[in-house]
Amino acid sequence: MAQLEAQDMAQAVIDRMADCKDPRFKEVMSALVRHAHAFAREVQLTPDEWMAGIQFLTATGKMCDEKRQEFILLSDTLGISMLVVAIDQARGAAALKDAPPDQRPTEATVQGPFFWPGAPQLELGADIGAGNPGEPAYYYGRVTDTAGRPIGNAVMDVWSGDGEGLYDMQKGPDAGMALRAQFRTDKDGNYRFWSIKPSYYPVPDDGPVGGMLHRMGRHPNRPGHMHMMLNAPGHERLITHIFVSDSPYLDSDAVFGVRDSLVVQFADHPPGKAPDGRVMSKPFSTAKYDFKLVPSAA
Ligand code: BEZ
Ligand code: FE
């Protein structure tokens, strides 16, 4: 039997997949093996370091339950979630790559762990921020396709943390839904609702991933943002955020999710009449953002 040298081991593992029936699985696993072996060779990994890595992954798995997904957080903080989002969007929008800027689809970003299906379906203009910490903010704009045609009846899920950076799901086991809803655009593609101006906040950092960030000399914070998910028949689903332009950490988002095209200037207003006629007794802000969806066939 021929003895394998370090540089030949990855290929030997790949060769054992000769009978694999699934070409895509084989392609992915071959690349994984090749890169993992190259990594171990590059850093000349020691047995103690490999064991520390296995213990870290074990602890990451043990931290996971239906409310906490530490592996996704690991993927997020290593930039892999955002990379996969970008690859996926580039694939879907390949035909539109060279389109003029006003016909490019809205950029996608990470979904994060705080989407909670089944949020209340509310009328356009409803206030989901009342009673929560944070400055009131009015969000409005239009949903169109990349050619600028309005998309009526598009379903828009919105969710965010509060003005102190906490999501409803982080407020204990008995906390109900807050600061989240589902709206439908009107026939001209318009949407509007009231919420709060979201604050920056740390990703959950009390587990193994938080320990890793600390050891890397990194902070765990994300800049303030409002999550949006748009679903419309005949169009690709869009999962994205709009980011608050004066928020700290725009340049160092812990999960690498910021896209310049998603940063929105929130206009500050003194107490008084809001764009929808509502009379505000305290200062508020307004954020306008138009979304462009990719037709499914593109
Ligand atoms: C969030 O934006 O909600 C989020 C995204 C990734 C990791 C943690 C939180
Ligand atoms: Fe978030």
* Protein residue closest via CA to atom 4 of ligand 1: 112
From 173-177, 211-215, 267-271, 275-279, the region with the lowest mean pLDDT: 173-177
pLDDT one-digit tens code per residue, 148-171: 999 999 999 999 999 888 999 888
Per-residue confidence (pLDDT) for residue 1, from 0 to 100: 65
Reading the block at residue 201, the tokens are 């906040």
Rounded to 5, what percent of the chain is helix, strand, coil?
30, 20, 50
Ligand 1 closest atom vs CA 112: 5
Task: Please list the alpha-helical segments (H only) found in 151-265.
Answer: 208-216
* Protein residue closest via CA to atom 7 of ligand 1: 112
192-219 burial, b if ≥16 CB within 10 A, otherwise e? bbbbbbbbbbebbbebbbbebbeeeeee
Q: From ligand 1's centre to the CA of 256, what distance in Å?
A: 10
Q: Is the pLDDT of residue 39 over 80?
A: yes
Contact present, 214 and 236 (Cβ < 8 Å): no
Q: From ligand 2's centre to the CA of 221, what distance in Å?
A: 10
Backbone φ, ψ for residue 8 (5° rounding): -100, -10
The predicted model scores a pTM of 0.92
Per-residue confidence (pLDDT) for residue 189, from 0 to 100: 98
- Average pLDDT in the chain: 94
Reading the block at residue 139, the tokens are 């969000």
Q: In DSSP terms, which residues pair with 145 in a beta bridge?
A: 293
Per-residue confidence (pLDDT) for residue 94, from 0 to 100: 64
* Protein residue closest via CA to atom 1 of ligand 1: 112
Per-residue confidence (pLDDT) for residue 236, from 0 to 100: 93
Q: From ligand 1's centre to the CA of 78, what distance in Å?
A: 13
For the chain, the farthest-separated pair of C-alpha atoms sits apart, in whole angstroms, at 84
**253 pocket-lining for ligand 1 (C-beta < 6 Å):** no
The percent of residues above 70 in pLDDT, for the chain, comes to: 97
Per-residue confidence (pLDDT) for residue 98, from 0 to 100: 72
pLDDT one-digit tens code per residue, 43-98: 999 999 999 999 999 999 999 987 789 999 999 999 999 999 999 988 766 656 67
- Considering the four listed CATH numbers 3.40.50.150, 2.30.40.10, 2.60.130.10, 3.40.50.12780, the one that applies to the domain covering 61-293 is 2.60.130.10
Mutate to test the pocket of ligand 1, among 110, 162, 240 (most ligand atoms within 8 A of CB): 110
pLDDT-derived band at 3 (thresholds 50, 70, 90) equals confident
Nearest CA among 225, 228, 226, 231 for reference residue 294: 231
* Between 6 and 133, residue with greater pLDDT: 133
Reading the block at residue 129, the tokens are 């921020």
Reading the block at residue 35, the tokens are 């890169």
* Between 207 and 102, residue with greater pLDDT: 207
pLDDT one-digit tens code per residue, 170-190: 888 888 999 999 999 999 999
Sign of CA dihedral 22, 23, 26, 27: negative
Contact present, 157 and 291 (Cβ < 8 Å): no
How far is it, in rounded angstroms, from Cα 185 to Cα 9? Answer: 56
**110 pocket-lining for ligand 1 (C-beta < 6 Å):** yes
Q: From ligand 1's centre to the CA of 112, what distance in Å?
A: 4
